[in-house]
Amino acid sequence: MAVHHFAQAQAINPVLANAFRAIRAADPRATTGALYASPDDLLRQVDLPEFSTLIKFIVASLNATAQQANAAAWPAGRHGLELELIGVWFQIQNGDAFHDVHTHGNCSWSGVYYVQLDTPEQRSAHPKLGALNGATRFYSPMFMLQGGAYVDRGNAWMQQSTLDVTPQEGDLVLFPSFLPHKAMPYSGERDRIIVSFNAQIRAPGGDDLLLRYAGV
Ligand SMILES: [Fe+2]
Protein backbone atom coordinates (compact mmCIF):
# COMPACT_ATOMS: atom_id res chain seq x y z
CA MET A 1 0.00 0.00 0.00
CA ALA A 2 1.06 3.60 -0.44
CA VAL A 3 -0.18 7.07 0.41
CA HIS A 4 0.55 10.00 -1.89
CA HIS A 5 -0.55 13.62 -1.53
CA PHE A 6 -1.77 15.78 -4.42
CA ALA A 7 0.05 19.11 -4.15
CA GLN A 8 -2.64 20.93 -6.18
CA ALA A 9 -5.54 19.59 -4.12
CA GLN A 10 -6.54 22.91 -2.57
CA ALA A 11 -7.07 24.57 -5.94
CA ILE A 12 -8.52 21.62 -7.83
CA ASN A 13 -10.71 19.76 -5.35
CA PRO A 14 -13.49 22.40 -5.15
CA VAL A 15 -13.82 22.35 -8.95
CA LEU A 16 -14.09 18.57 -8.91
CA ALA A 17 -16.63 18.61 -6.08
CA ASN A 18 -18.85 21.00 -8.05
CA ALA A 19 -18.60 18.87 -11.19
CA PHE A 20 -19.49 15.72 -9.27
CA ARG A 21 -22.50 17.36 -7.63
CA ALA A 22 -23.70 18.39 -11.09
CA ILE A 23 -23.33 14.82 -12.40
CA ARG A 24 -25.31 13.50 -9.45
CA ALA A 25 -28.05 16.09 -9.98
CA ALA A 26 -28.35 15.11 -13.64
CA ASP A 27 -28.38 11.35 -13.01
CA PRO A 28 -31.97 10.06 -13.34
CA ARG A 29 -30.99 6.94 -11.36
CA ALA A 30 -29.69 8.97 -8.41
CA THR A 31 -31.58 8.68 -5.15
CA THR A 32 -31.69 11.31 -2.45
CA GLY A 33 -30.10 8.81 -0.03
CA ALA A 34 -27.00 9.36 2.04
CA LEU A 35 -24.72 7.46 -0.36
CA TYR A 36 -24.36 8.08 -4.09
CA ALA A 37 -21.99 6.23 -6.44
CA SER A 38 -21.57 7.49 -10.01
CA PRO A 39 -21.13 5.26 -13.06
CA ASP A 40 -17.48 4.22 -13.53
CA ASP A 41 -16.98 6.02 -16.86
CA LEU A 42 -15.78 9.38 -15.53
CA LEU A 43 -12.91 9.34 -18.04
CA ARG A 44 -15.56 9.75 -20.75
CA GLN A 45 -17.98 11.93 -18.78
CA VAL A 46 -15.70 14.61 -17.30
CA ASP A 47 -13.91 16.93 -19.68
CA LEU A 48 -12.18 19.36 -17.32
CA PRO A 49 -8.49 20.31 -17.18
CA GLU A 50 -8.62 19.94 -13.38
CA PHE A 51 -9.83 16.35 -13.75
CA SER A 52 -7.08 15.60 -16.29
CA THR A 53 -4.49 16.98 -13.86
CA LEU A 54 -5.80 14.70 -11.12
CA ILE A 55 -5.74 11.68 -13.44
CA LYS A 56 -2.13 12.43 -14.41
CA PHE A 57 -1.20 12.55 -10.71
CA ILE A 58 -3.02 9.25 -10.09
CA VAL A 59 -1.27 7.52 -13.01
CA ALA A 60 2.17 8.82 -11.97
CA SER A 61 1.56 7.66 -8.39
CA LEU A 62 0.36 4.24 -9.55
CA ASN A 63 3.40 3.81 -11.77
CA ALA A 64 5.78 4.72 -8.94
CA THR A 65 4.11 2.45 -6.39
CA ALA A 66 3.69 -0.51 -8.74
CA GLN A 67 7.32 -0.24 -9.78
CA GLN A 68 8.42 -0.19 -6.16
CA ALA A 69 6.24 -3.20 -5.28
CA ASN A 70 7.48 -5.15 -8.32
CA ALA A 71 11.15 -4.16 -8.12
CA ALA A 72 12.26 -7.79 -8.00
CA ALA A 73 9.67 -9.03 -10.53
CA TRP A 74 10.27 -6.43 -13.25
CA PRO A 75 13.92 -7.00 -14.20
CA ALA A 76 13.82 -4.25 -16.81
CA GLY A 77 11.87 -1.85 -14.64
CA ARG A 78 8.79 -0.02 -15.83
CA HIS A 79 9.93 0.18 -19.45
CA GLY A 80 7.36 -0.86 -22.06
CA LEU A 81 4.46 -1.54 -19.69
CA GLU A 82 1.04 -0.01 -20.28
CA LEU A 83 -1.12 1.22 -17.43
CA GLU A 84 -4.84 1.49 -18.07
CA LEU A 85 -7.46 2.91 -15.75
CA ILE A 86 -10.36 0.57 -16.44
CA GLY A 87 -12.88 2.34 -14.23
CA VAL A 88 -13.01 5.70 -12.49
CA TRP A 89 -16.00 6.79 -10.43
CA PHE A 90 -16.90 9.02 -7.48
CA GLN A 91 -18.93 8.58 -4.32
CA ILE A 92 -20.71 11.12 -2.14
CA GLN A 93 -21.46 10.09 1.44
CA ASN A 94 -22.93 11.66 4.57
CA GLY A 95 -25.58 11.04 7.24
CA ASP A 96 -23.80 8.01 8.78
CA ALA A 97 -23.70 6.24 5.40
CA PHE A 98 -20.97 3.66 4.83
CA HIS A 99 -19.77 1.35 2.06
CA ASP A 100 -19.49 -2.18 3.43
CA VAL A 101 -16.53 -4.54 3.06
CA HIS A 102 -15.70 -5.31 -0.56
CA THR A 103 -12.86 -5.97 -3.01
CA HIS A 104 -12.31 -4.73 -6.56
CA GLY A 105 -12.16 -7.23 -9.41
CA ASN A 106 -10.48 -7.45 -12.82
CA CYS A 107 -7.51 -5.27 -11.90
CA SER A 108 -4.25 -5.37 -9.97
CA TRP A 109 -4.20 -1.94 -8.32
CA SER A 110 -7.01 0.19 -6.97
CA GLY A 111 -7.13 3.43 -5.10
CA VAL A 112 -9.14 6.14 -3.46
CA TYR A 113 -8.58 9.88 -3.70
CA TYR A 114 -10.17 12.12 -1.09
CA VAL A 115 -11.73 15.17 -2.74
CA GLN A 116 -13.65 16.58 0.20
CA LEU A 117 -14.45 15.74 3.82
CA ASP A 118 -14.34 17.46 7.18
CA THR A 119 -10.96 17.80 8.90
CA PRO A 120 -9.79 14.96 11.17
CA GLU A 121 -10.38 17.24 14.18
CA GLN A 122 -13.97 17.95 13.13
CA ARG A 123 -14.62 14.29 12.39
CA SER A 124 -13.24 12.92 15.61
CA ALA A 125 -15.44 15.34 17.57
CA HIS A 126 -18.50 13.37 16.42
CA PRO A 127 -20.07 11.93 19.60
CA LYS A 128 -20.78 8.45 18.20
CA LEU A 129 -18.29 7.87 15.39
CA GLY A 130 -15.21 9.45 16.95
CA ALA A 131 -11.84 9.11 15.22
CA LEU A 132 -13.16 6.50 12.74
CA ASN A 133 -15.63 9.00 11.28
CA GLY A 134 -14.95 8.89 7.53
CA ALA A 135 -11.95 6.54 7.79
CA THR A 136 -11.19 3.77 5.30
CA ARG A 137 -10.54 0.37 6.92
CA PHE A 138 -8.38 -2.24 5.19
CA TYR A 139 -8.45 -5.91 6.19
CA SER A 140 -5.28 -7.99 6.02
CA PRO A 141 -5.56 -11.45 4.40
CA MET A 142 -4.65 -12.70 7.89
CA PHE A 143 -8.01 -11.45 9.17
CA MET A 144 -9.68 -14.57 7.75
CA LEU A 145 -7.02 -16.88 9.23
CA GLN A 146 -7.65 -15.94 12.81
CA GLY A 147 -10.85 -17.90 13.44
CA GLY A 148 -9.76 -20.84 15.60
CA ALA A 149 -6.11 -20.08 14.96
CA TYR A 150 -3.34 -20.80 17.44
CA VAL A 151 -2.52 -17.65 19.40
CA ASP A 152 0.35 -16.96 21.73
CA ARG A 153 2.86 -14.19 22.19
CA GLY A 154 4.87 -15.61 19.31
CA ASN A 155 2.32 -14.50 16.74
CA ALA A 156 1.00 -11.47 18.57
CA TRP A 157 2.03 -9.42 15.54
CA MET A 158 -0.80 -11.09 13.57
CA GLN A 159 -3.53 -9.94 15.88
CA GLN A 160 -3.68 -6.42 14.49
CA SER A 161 -5.20 -7.38 11.15
CA THR A 162 -6.92 -4.15 10.13
CA LEU A 163 -5.49 -0.80 9.13
CA ASP A 164 -7.52 2.38 9.45
CA VAL A 165 -6.56 5.21 7.13
CA THR A 166 -7.61 8.58 8.52
CA PRO A 167 -7.57 10.68 5.37
CA GLN A 168 -7.22 14.35 4.67
CA GLU A 169 -8.33 16.15 1.55
CA GLY A 170 -5.82 15.57 -1.22
CA ASP A 171 -4.63 12.18 0.03
CA LEU A 172 -4.40 9.30 -2.43
CA VAL A 173 -4.32 5.75 -1.05
CA LEU A 174 -3.22 2.95 -3.39
CA PHE A 175 -3.78 -0.70 -2.56
CA PRO A 176 -3.73 -4.15 -4.18
CA SER A 177 -7.23 -4.72 -5.57
CA PHE A 178 -7.73 -8.00 -3.70
CA LEU A 179 -7.50 -6.23 -0.34
CA PRO A 180 -10.90 -6.06 1.39
CA HIS A 181 -11.79 -2.57 2.59
CA LYS A 182 -14.68 -0.57 3.96
CA ALA A 183 -15.64 3.09 3.96
CA MET A 184 -16.56 3.57 7.60
CA PRO A 185 -19.70 5.56 8.50
CA TYR A 186 -19.33 9.28 7.92
CA SER A 187 -21.25 12.19 9.30
CA GLY A 188 -19.98 15.70 8.69
CA GLU A 189 -20.73 19.30 7.96
CA ARG A 190 -19.56 18.74 4.39
CA ASP A 191 -20.19 15.64 2.27
CA ARG A 192 -17.40 13.08 2.00
CA ILE A 193 -16.50 12.96 -1.70
CA ILE A 194 -14.00 10.47 -3.07
CA VAL A 195 -12.75 9.31 -6.45
CA SER A 196 -12.15 5.55 -6.80
CA PHE A 197 -10.46 3.72 -9.64
CA ASN A 198 -9.15 0.38 -10.88
CA ALA A 199 -5.99 -0.12 -12.91
CA GLN A 200 -4.36 -2.85 -14.99
CA ILE A 201 -0.67 -2.86 -15.91
CA ARG A 202 0.21 -4.99 -18.92
CA ALA A 203 2.93 -5.64 -21.43
CA PRO A 204 2.11 -4.26 -24.89
CA GLY A 205 -0.17 -6.76 -26.58
CA GLY A 206 -1.82 -7.77 -23.33
CA ASP A 207 -0.04 -11.11 -23.08
CA ASP A 208 0.52 -11.09 -19.34
CA LEU A 209 -0.48 -14.65 -18.62
CA LEU A 210 1.01 -16.41 -15.65
CA LEU A 211 4.80 -16.99 -15.90
CA ARG A 212 5.13 -14.93 -19.06
CA TYR A 213 6.52 -11.78 -17.50
CA ALA A 214 10.15 -12.57 -18.30
CA GLY A 215 11.73 -10.15 -20.70
CA VAL A 216 9.28 -7.33 -19.95
FE1 LIG B 1 -13.65 0.14 -2.82
Instruction: For residue range 96-105, list pLDDT tens digits in order.
Output: 999 999 999 8
Please give the pLDDT value at position 142: 87
C-alpha 180 – ligand 1 centre gap (Å) = 8
User: Which letter, b or e, does each residue of 153-186 get, where b requires 16 or more Cβ atoms within 10 Å of its Cβ?
Assistant: eeeeeeeeeeeebebebbbbbbbbbeebbbbbbb
C-alpha 35 – ligand 1 centre gap (Å) = 13
C-alpha 86 – ligand 1 centre gap (Å) = 14
C-alpha 103 – ligand 1 centre gap (Å) = 6
Among 65, 103, 111, 121, residue whose Cα is nearest residue 85: 111
- Main-chain dihedrals φ then ψ at residue 179, nearest 5 degrees: -75, 115
pLDDT in tens, 20-40: 999 999 999 988 789 999 999
C-alpha 207 – ligand 1 centre gap (Å) = 27
C-alpha 175 – ligand 1 centre gap (Å) = 10
User: Of 1-5, 61-65, 155-159, which range is least confident?
Assistant: 155-159
pTM of the entire predicted model:
0.92
Instruction: Give the Cα separation of 147 and 190 in Å (integer).
Output: 39
- How much of the chain exceeds pLDDT 90, in percent? 76
The whole-number average pLDDT for the span 108-133 is 96
Please give the pLDDT value at position 16: 98
Please give the pLDDT value at position 205: 67
Instruction: Give the Cα separation of 173 and 17 in Å (integer).
Output: 18
Please give the pLDDT value at position 216: 46
Residue 43's identity, in one-letter code, is L
C-alpha 99 – ligand 1 centre gap (Å) = 8
Q: Is the pLDDT of residue 210 over 60?
A: no
State the average pLDDT for the chain.
92
C-alpha 202 – ligand 1 centre gap (Å) = 22
C-alpha 113 – ligand 1 centre gap (Å) = 11
The SS3 of residue 8 is coil
Among 5, 2, 1, residue whose Cα is nearest residue 169: 5
* 8 Å CB contact between 124 and 131: yes
The whole-number average pLDDT for the span 52-68 is 97
Please give the pLDDT value at position 147: 81
C-alpha 214 – ligand 1 centre gap (Å) = 31
Strands 109-116, 192-202: pairing is antiparallel
